[in-house]
Chains A and B, each alone.
Chain A
């Protein structure tokens, strides 16, 4: 048995230790906001927070996910996450939307650690999150908006 603390709730799961957190969250716990994109930590669609840090749930075995796991479903209740979500809406960032949960998780982790990132810090921090629709310019603008920098963008 593995115990996962997801969005403040304890989940007892009967899964192998090496099952990636992504599949435990999606198929076993049944929360669908965290997405599968590549399975090898190359796209960021599966990004969740582990004790506040952005991790790729597709390569994190459940045995290593000891701590507080936070997913996109809980971002509306997060003071920074909700601002990021609002900026995403204000700028119409999403196209298909599939990667955007992971983008928001990654951006929120960045802004919590670095509330006033400069452009190159944002670009570096977001480089691991792919968006095939190509919404990068709006993602950057949305993050700068949360950081209070849209006028300099």
Chain B
């Protein structure tokens, strides 16, 4: 049985009558008496600072039918992180609902109604844990009040049990379904009147279940879309049923900023099923979320559209692309490496680094490279749009429904209210689907077919050629050591094109949020530290990729820390624990970061004690220091990101042919309070595998502005043989700490930990990613 109540996706607004859920909104006033941490809901931080903020009105999120079915509205995009399960789990637990009688309904794009819906930054759970629990607690109180009214007894004599309310003295019972209609008539209680369940009373929240490190704790972990997924019924972007659709693909300019000079579609139109071609106007640079332009081929099925595109003869004009047309990866890398030898914009400066480096008895330096990568979710970008009578309806797998709505409205010159965006399941996102360019493309094509749905499909080649690429990076580091090998100076120059180039004239320097991803927040306790950011221009669309600039920063810093420990002749773990220094809280402003992932620095300082603890946990669990066979070694890396702490140890073998065999990964993770440990583990396992791709094989290169990889035969991703033979996840028990991110923080330390392990196994130092064939012969 499907647990999804998403008939809205089928274009006919559900006629189902929700007995609760019809009332209007309630005022958002912070309660004085509230036992959950609310600092991240104040206007300047966390959920409160996000566009649309947070909403905790039970009428928005919780619906109870007369048959007792509880439907919880999920306002965030589901892309594999499990938020549709986890948010519903919170509500069901707090409400007292029977899990088997709970369904989920996906919210359409409406930030005024549902609060912030932009699903990125590993924010869904930490921003929605409190509001969703309050919404459910309010609904529970309304059910209890309805029962008390019916029995004419005082409220304190009733309590909620699973899916029912009980009059304690008499033992009388009423089911949720029986109470729903009366409960709907009641006013939503004030926040001061709500009492959240204590941890002891919770059935699901924070409870371990499912698969833990190779063993089943409990069979059948809760997964609200699980049955639909394994039976092929789950509705992803291209699976929406619409009447009589047209199918389109677009040939886009191969070089960023290029445009169509002219084209010949005579062969295209001979392909059976092809109906029409049309030129799509691009918006030039910076592209933002707008279409790149090109030529659309519209047909009666996807295959005909793809075949028709193959037969187009297009002459491109690269004039508007400027020097993007000469962008070549090897030359760009060399240019950045050269530039890294000279000082750049100073980001952080403490102590006299120049002098400390001069005085040092030993210096170490290294330059690290991380290439462009495409997010490449398994589901290529797709959107279905119908334009009729000045109104637009969109069905698409999008991380940012609001941006989708606004981008489509802007493209078609309509008011936001004229555009409805229905969010399907996302077949992966990883940041790519934060950019709704494909929805704007689909809307542009659909506009030419008034009243007829158009499904715009990206192929894999489109995805790899026209990603919003992970920024290429060069990081140059120098350290000075004293007589005893102690680090006394640390200089780090980081160079990457900025995501800022997507929205404005190229700043050529990283912005505050980019630097705040583990660069200026580097937590080592070293007397002289100087951090610089020389310029690096963008020549392609640069965009978020899971964990974003934490990837190159962690890769460089954690690789270099290992190199320094080797130069000092010290054990890596012991050395980095010394570099971290004694446990202390670093306020982000003291290291020049004004961002802190948007969170309150008082609530979320960088705590080196928690960082130390994950390092100690991962190394202990891995058996750090034990003797390994020849050709095998352990590597460590750790990183703070998205206000969570991760440490990883890999046990790696490099065989005689240079193949990397990963025997085991030990991952220690501290994200503060945990909502659904089962999905936290799955996110860390997945981040580990994705990080192995970053380390070993994934790279998009450019020649004369054109991406050189086309599909998964050349843009390589990790496969089952590349995965660790065992992944062990160690979740730190920090239920008293505020929630941190989960989806992204598992990724940044993977590549450096793996390369440090390769060094331990072989003595070969990897400074350029991916490893590729560097270990062969």
Which residues of chain A are within 8 angstroms of B234 by Cβ–Cβ distance? Answer: 97
- Against A, the Cβ 8 Å flags (1 = close, 0 = not) of B221-256 are 101011111111111101101000001000000000
User: How distant is A58 from chain B, measured CB to nearest CB, in Å?
Assistant: 10
User: Are B685 and A135 in contact, with the CB atoms below 8 A?
Assistant: yes
Main secondary structure of the interface of A (DSSP, over half): loop
- What is the CA–CA distance of A35 and B229 in the complex, to the nearest angstrom? 12
User: Are B236 and A98 in contact, with the CB atoms below 8 A?
Assistant: yes
- What is the CA–CA distance of A153 and B213 in the complex, to the nearest angstrom? 10
Q: Is B272 an interface residue (CB 8 A)?
A: yes
User: Are A138 and B378 in contact, with the CB atoms below 8 A?
Assistant: no
Known: A88-B230, A91-B211, A132-B690. A127 touches B720 (CB 8 A): yes
- What is the CA–CA distance of A76 and B82 in the complex, to the nearest angstrom? 23
Which residues of chain A are within 8 angstroms of B685 by Cβ–Cβ distance? Answer: 134-135, 137-138
- What is the CA–CA distance of A32 and B721 in the complex, to the nearest angstrom? 29
User: Are A92 and B678 in contact, with the CB atoms below 8 A?
Assistant: yes
User: How distant is B758 from chain A, measured CB to nearest CB, in Å?
Assistant: 20
- B214, B220, B227, B230: the one contacting A104 at CB < 8 Å is B230
Known: A91-B211, A127-B719. A133 touches B227 (CB 8 A): no
Extra contacts besides A26-B302, A137-B685, A153-B214 (8): CB < 8 Å: A23-B303, A26-B238, A42-B713, A91-B216, A95-B683, A97-B225, A132-B376, A139-B720
Q: Which residue of A lies closest to B79 (CB)?
A: A96
CB proximity to B under 8 Å, residues A32-86: 32-40, 42-43, 45, 71-73, 75-76, 85
User: Are B689 and A134 in contact, with the CB atoms below 8 A?
Assistant: yes
Which residues of chain B are within 8 angstroms of A19 by Cβ–Cβ distance? Answer: 301, 303
- A91, A100, A132: the one contacting B210 at CB < 8 Å is A91
User: How distant is B303 from chain A, measured CB to nearest CB, in Å?
Assistant: 4
CB proximity to A under 8 Å, residues B632-691: 678, 682-683, 685-690
Which residues of chain B are within 8 angstroms of A132 by Cβ–Cβ distance? Answer: 376-378, 428, 430, 690, 717
Known: A90-B216, A99-B378, A135-B682. A130 touches B233 (CB 8 A): no
User: Are B721 and A123 in contact, with the CB atoms below 8 A?
Assistant: yes
Report A's interface with B, CB cutoff 8 A.
15-16, 19-20, 23, 26-28, 30-40, 42-43, 45, 71-73, 75-76, 85, 88-92, 94-101, 104, 123-124, 126-141, 150, 153
Which residues of chain B are within 8 angstroms of A124 by Cβ–Cβ distance? Answer: 721
Q: Which residue of A lies closest to B455 (CB)?
A: A27
Q: Which residue of B lies closest to A16 (CB)?
A: B272
- What is the CA–CA distance of A76 and B231 in the complex, to the nearest angstrom? 7
User: Are B711 and A38 in contact, with the CB atoms below 8 A?
Assistant: yes
Q: Which residue of A lies closest to B692 (CB)?
A: A134
- What is the CA–CA distance of A10 and B532 in the complex, to the nearest angstrom? 67
Q: Is B718 an interface residue (CB 8 A)?
A: yes
Q: Is B497 an interface residue (CB 8 A)?
A: no
- What is the CA–CA distance of A132 and B723 in the complex, to the nearest angstrom? 12
Which residues of chain B are within 8 angstroms of A138 by Cβ–Cβ distance? Answer: 211, 682, 685
User: Are A134 and B678 in contact, with the CB atoms below 8 A?
Assistant: no
Q: Which residue of A lies closest to B687 (CB)?
A: A134
User: Are A141 and B690 in contact, with the CB atoms below 8 A?
Assistant: no
User: Are B82 and A38 in contact, with the CB atoms below 8 A?
Assistant: no
Which residues of chain B are within 8 angstroms of A99 by Cβ–Cβ distance? Answer: 378, 427
Which residues of chain B are within 8 angstroms of A72 by Cβ–Cβ distance? Answer: 231-232
Q: In this complex, which of A34, A42, A72, A131 has the most chain B Cβ atoms within 10 angstroms of its Cβ?
A: A131
User: Are A136 and B231 in contact, with the CB atoms below 8 A?
Assistant: no
- A90, A97, A128: the one contacting B229 at CB < 8 Å is A97
- What is the CA–CA distance of A31 and B235 in the complex, to the nearest angstrom? 11
User: How distant is A7 from chain B, measured CB to nearest CB, in Å?
Assistant: 11
- What is the CA–CA distance of A45 and B241 in the complex, to the nearest angstrom? 20
- What is the CA–CA distance of A96 and B223 in the complex, to the nearest angstrom? 11
User: How distant is A12 from chain B, measured CB to nearest CB, in Å?
Assistant: 16
User: Are A39 and B460 in contact, with the CB atoms below 8 A?
Assistant: yes
Known: A95-B81, A132-B717, A137-B727. A100 touches B460 (CB 8 A): no
User: Are A131 and B378 in contact, with the CB atoms below 8 A?
Assistant: yes
- What is the CA–CA distance of A123 and B235 in the complex, to the nearest angstrom? 29
- A23, A96, A97, A141: the one contacting B302 at CB < 8 Å is A23
- What is the CA–CA distance of A19 and B229 in the complex, to the nearest angstrom? 26
- What is the CA–CA distance of A90 and B358 in the complex, to the nearest angstrom? 60
- B81, B230, B376, B428: the one contacting A89 at CB < 8 Å is B230
Q: Is B525 an interface residue (CB 8 A)?
A: no
User: Are B428 and A133 in contact, with the CB atoms below 8 A?
Assistant: yes
User: Are B682 and A95 in contact, with the CB atoms below 8 A?
Assistant: yes
Which residues of chain A are within 8 angstroms of B211 by Cβ–Cβ distance? Answer: 91-92, 138, 141
- A90, A98, A126, A139: the one contacting B428 at CB < 8 Å is A98
Q: Is B724 an interface residue (CB 8 A)?
A: yes
Q: Which residue of A lies closest to B225 (CB)?
A: A97
Which residues of chain A are within 8 angstroms of B78 by Cβ–Cβ distance? Answer: 96
User: How distant is A107 from chain B, measured CB to nearest CB, in Å?
Assistant: 11
User: How distant is A62 from chain B, measured CB to nearest CB, in Å?
Assistant: 10
Which residues of chain A are within 8 angstroms of B688 by Cβ–Cβ distance? Answer: 134
User: Are A97 and B427 in contact, with the CB atoms below 8 A?
Assistant: yes
Which residues of chain A are within 8 angstroms of B231 by Cβ–Cβ distance? Answer: 33, 72-73, 75-76, 85
Which residues of chain A are within 8 angstroms of B377 by Cβ–Cβ distance? Answer: 96, 98, 132
User: How distant is B409 from chain A, measured CB to nearest CB, in Å?
Assistant: 28
- B236, B241, B430, B720: the one contacting A136 at CB < 8 Å is B720
Q: Is B80 an interface residue (CB 8 A)?
A: yes
Q: In this complex, which of A43, A75, A104, A140 has the most chain B Cβ atoms within 10 angstroms of its Cβ?
A: A43
User: Are A95 and B686 in contact, with the CB atoms below 8 A?
Assistant: yes
The 4 closest A-B pairs by CB, nearest first: A33-B232, A134-B689, A98-B427, A96-B80
Known: A36-B302, A43-B378. A127 touches B232 (CB 8 A): no
Known: A27-B301, A33-B232, A90-B216. A97 touches B210 (CB 8 A): no
User: How distant is B433 from chain A, measured CB to nearest CB, in Å?
Assistant: 11
Q: Is B380 an interface residue (CB 8 A)?
A: yes
